[in-house]
Amino acid sequence: MADIKLTTLCYIRSKGNYLMLYRNKKKEDPNGGKWIGVGGHFELCESPDECLCREVAEETGLKLTSWQSRGLITFCFDGWGCEYMHLFTADSFEGKITDCDEGELAWIPESELMSLPMWEGDRIFLRLIAEDASYFNLKLCYNKDGVLTDAILNGEVLAV
């Protein structure tokens, strides 16, 4: 059976900005050189909410006080396996941002998000978040070169 990963990803919003992570500190990082939200892998018996809160605290130093589950993203990577990612947004938190050992954290104006280097599929779910879409299922397939080859939203094939 292929390797299956379970993860969370959160886009934290405050005053028209999103807290983004520029992945530039880990060697051989599949997200290296890209901007993403914050999150990570599940620990044994964690719920998506528990994983989300733990990962956000570990990567940012922030304690989330309000968040919303936005969708389930299925990633298929040629030669890398499969990942099921629970996507969240958050709009309330406590604490101060700390250094992250995976990259640099920065508040990015919402109007500049799409100009950042990121996975092409991330642009799809960021658009859905911006449109305040209801809970969605999105399947994103990438070839071994990291090129998006297929995107399926709630059973409907999207042009890529």
For the whole model, what pTM was predicted?
0.94
Residue the block writes with tokens 């399926």: 152
For the chain, give the longest Cα–Cα distance: 44
- At residue 70, the pLDDT reads 98
pLDDT given at position 129: 97
- The predicted pLDDT at position 2 comes to 58
Q: Please name each of the domains of the chain with its CATH number.
A: 4-158 (3.90.79.10)
The one-digit pLDDT tens for each residue of the chain (160 residues) are 457 899 999 999 999 999 999 999 888 888 889 999 999 999 999 999 999 999 999 999 999 999 999 999 999 998 778 999 999 999 999 999 999 999 999 999 999 999 999 999 999 999 999 999 999 999 999 999 999 999 999 999 999 8
pLDDT of residue 1: 47
Residue listed under structure tokens 């099921």: 84
Three-class secondary structure of residue 24 per DSSP: coil
The CA-atom distances, in angstroms, between 89 and each of 8, 14, 155 are 11, 11, 23
